[in-house]
C-alpha cells in the first residue's frame, strides 16, 4: 500500500490533482517508513469491533466464496493490495486486504484462487481506499476489475486542506492511531507470510472506515463532497486506461540525452537485453543493471567503437557479462542510416499576452485556493496554466468542474 504524501505524476493537463501515471508500477511506502522487524516496537492498536485473533489468509476458493458473501451484504468495505515490484518482474498482485464490519481478512491471489466471486461482491458498490491509484491500476491491468465507486481517504484529506496526507499522518491526526513504519519493502510474494507482515497488511484497512466517516463528515461541512466524488470518478477512469507504451521512448532512460546516435543505438540494445533478462530471471530491471550503468556502458562503447574491455560491474555473472557484450556489439553494427536520433520536442515560445494570462490564472488560482485552505496545485499545475493560456486543445475540458470554478473569472 502506498501512502506517500507526494503523488508521483500527473494526468494530462490537470496537475497533480488526479492520479500518477505508472512507471513500472513501483511505489513508495505510503506510510512513509522503513522496514523494521523489531518485535518490541510492534504496537498497533486495533479499532473496536475487530477480533484480536490473527486473521487467517484465505487460500481456497471455498473460503473466498464465504468471504465474498459476507462482503456482498456488508454496509461498507475497505480494500488495499500488496505487490512484489521490488522483488519480481513483471510485478504481480500478491495480497488483497479487506475490511468489513467486525472483520479484516487477507486473500492470497497466489494460491490459484478463482477471484470472480470477490469481484462480483465488490461490484456496484463504493470501496474505501487510501491513495487508490496504484491499487486500481494493479487490479485492472492484472485482473480486469474496475470498481463502480470509491472513497479515497488520501484525496479526502487533501481536499479538506491537510498538508500531510500519508495514511499514518492522517490516522494520527484524525483518530490518534499510529501505525508502525514498515513492511512495504518486504517480499510479499514469499510464502508463508510472517505474523508481522500479516498484522502490517491488516492494519492498512482496519481503520479506513472510521477514517472515512470523519473525512466524509468534514467534506460535507465544507461543501466539498462533490469535489471528492469528481476526483474519485476521474481516478477510476484514468486507472482503467490501457497503458500506452511508446516503443521509441521507453528505452530512453536517464543519461540518454548525453549520448550521440551510436551511443543511443547501443543503449537501445542494452535496454532490450536487460528487459528480457529481467523477465527470464524474474528480477526487477534495476537488479540486473541500473539506468545510469547502462548509459555509462553505452557512452564508453560508442566513444571507443568497440565492445571489448567494457567496464562492467564485478557482480555480473559470466552469462550477463556476455549478454552485455553481445548487446553492445549489436548496437555497434546498426547501419548509420538507421541510427536513432534524439527526440526533438517542438514547442513555440509563448507570446507575451499568453504569459500575462498564465500569470493572471496563477494569481486567481493561488488566491482562491488560499481562501479555502487547499494546495493550489490541486486546482491546476503550472503546466496546466500554460496550456490554458495557450488555449491548447482539450486543456479546459481536462479540468474537473470543481477545478474550473477556481479559474473562471
CA distance to 124, 222, 297, per residue, from 161 (Å):
30, 10, 47
Poorest-pLDDT segment among 33-37, 305-309, 364-368, 387-391: 33-37
Q: Which helix (H) or strand (E) holds 73?
A: helix 61-73
What is the CATH superfamily name and number for domain 15-239? Ribonuclease H-like superfamily/Ribonuclease H (3.30.420.10)
Q: Are 93 and 83 in contact (CB under 8 A)?
A: yes
Alpha-carbon distance of 88 to 185, in angstroms, equals 12
Going 74 to 118 to 20 to 277, the CA torsion angle's sign is positive
Q: Among 190, 79, 59, 57, which Cα is nearest to 127's?
A: 79
Mean pLDDT of 25-41: 37
How much of the chain exceeds pLDDT 70, in percent?
Answer: 86
- Alpha helices, DSSP H, located in 187-224: 195-203, 208-222
- Please give the pLDDT value at position 346: 73
What are the beta bridge partners of residue 93? Answer: 83
Residue 317 CB partners (closer than 8 Å, separation 6+): none
Domains of the chain, residue spans: 15-239, 256-338, 352-407
Which range has the worst mean pLDDT, 17-21, 35-39, 174-178, 270-274?
Answer: 35-39
Question: Would you say 388 and 395 are in contact if contact means Cβ atoms under 8 Å apart?
Answer: yes
Average pLDDT, the chain: 88
Q: Look at residue 242 and give its three-state secondary structure.
A: coil
Can you tell me the mean pLDDT for 140-167? 98
Q: Are 137 and 27 a contacting pair, CB within 8 Å?
A: no
At 56-108, the pLDDT tens digits run 799 999 999 999 999 999 999 999 999 999 999 999 999 999 999 999 999 99
Q: Residue with C-alpha cell 557512452? A: 299
Cell readout for 216 is 466524509
Closest by CA to 79, choosing from 153, 179, 178, 185, is 153
pLDDT tens profile 314-352:
999 999 999 999 999 999 999 999 999 998 877 779 999
Q: Is residue 329 helix, strand or coil? A: helix
**Chain length of the chain:** 409
Amino acid at each position: 500500500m502506498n501512502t506517500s504524501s507526494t503523488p508521483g505524476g500527473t494526468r494530462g493537463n490537470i496537475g497533480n490533482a488526479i492520479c500518477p501515471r505508472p512507471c513500472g508500477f513501483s511505489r513508495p511506502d505510503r506510510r512513509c517508513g522503513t522496514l523494521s522487524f523489531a518485535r518490541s516496537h510492534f504496537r498497533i492498536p486495533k479499532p473496536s469491533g475487530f477480533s484480536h485473533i490473527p486473521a487467517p489468509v484465505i487460500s481456497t476458493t471455498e473460503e473466498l466464496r464465504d468471504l465474498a458473501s459476507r462482503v456482498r451484504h456488508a454496509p461498507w468495505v475497505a480494500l488495499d493490495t500488496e505487490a512484489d515490484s521490488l522483488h519480481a518482474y513483471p510485478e504481480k498482485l500478491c495480497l488483497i486486504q479487506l475490511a468489513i464490519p467486525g472483520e479484516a481478512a487477507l486473500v492470497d491471489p497466489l494460491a490459484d484462487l478463482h477471484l470472480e466471486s470477490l469481484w462480483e461482491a465488490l461490484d456496484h458498490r463504493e470501496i474505501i481506499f487510501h491513495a487508490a491509484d496504484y491499487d486500481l491500476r494493479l487490479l485492472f491491468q492484472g485482473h480486469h476489475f474496475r470498481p463502480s465507486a470509491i472513497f479515497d481517504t488520501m484525496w479526502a484529506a487533501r481536499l479538506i486542506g491537510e498538508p500531510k496526507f500519508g495514511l499514518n499522518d492522517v490516522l494520527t491526526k484524525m483518530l490518534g492511531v499510529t501505525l508502525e513504519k514498515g513492511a512495504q519493502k518486504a517480499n510479499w510474494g514469499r510464502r508463508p507470510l510472517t505474523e508481522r507482515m500479516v498484522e502490517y497488511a491488516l492494519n492498512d484497512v482496519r481503520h479506513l472506515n472510521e477514517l472515512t466517516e470523519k473525512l466524509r463528515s468534514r467534506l460535507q461541512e465544507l461543501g466539498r463532497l462533490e469535489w471528492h466524488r469528481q476526483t474519485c470518478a476521474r481516478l477510476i477512469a484514468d486507472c482503467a486506461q490501457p497503458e500506452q507504451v511508446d516503443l521509441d521512448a521507453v528505452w530512453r532512460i536517464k543519461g540518454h540525452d548525453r549520448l550521440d546516435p551510436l551511443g543511443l543505438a547501443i543503449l537501445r540494445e542494452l535496454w532490450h537485453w536487460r528487459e528480457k533478462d529481467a523477465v527470464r530471471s524474474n528480477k526487477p530491471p534495476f537488479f540486473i543493471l541500473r539506468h545510469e550503468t547502462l548509459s555509462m556502458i553505452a557512452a564508453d562503447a560508442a566513444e571507443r567503437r568497440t565492445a571489448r574491455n567494457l567496464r562492467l560491474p564485478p557482480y555480473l555473472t559470466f552469462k550477463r557479462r556476455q549478454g552485455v557484450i553481445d548487446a553492445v556489439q549489436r548496437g555497434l553494427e546498426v547501419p548509420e542510416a538507421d541510427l536513432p536520433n534524439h527526440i526533438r520536442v517542438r514547442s513555440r515560445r509563448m507570446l507575451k499576452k499568453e504569459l500575462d494570462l498564465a500569470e493572471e490564472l496563477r494569481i486567481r488560482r493561488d488566491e482562491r485556493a488560499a481562501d479555502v485552505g487547499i494546495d493550489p496545485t490541486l486546482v491546476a499545475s503550472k503546466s496546466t496554466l500554460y496550456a490554458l493560456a495557450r488555449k491548447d486543445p482539450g486543456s479546459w475540458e481536462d479540468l474537473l468542474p470543481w477545478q474550473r470554478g477556481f479559474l473562471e473569472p
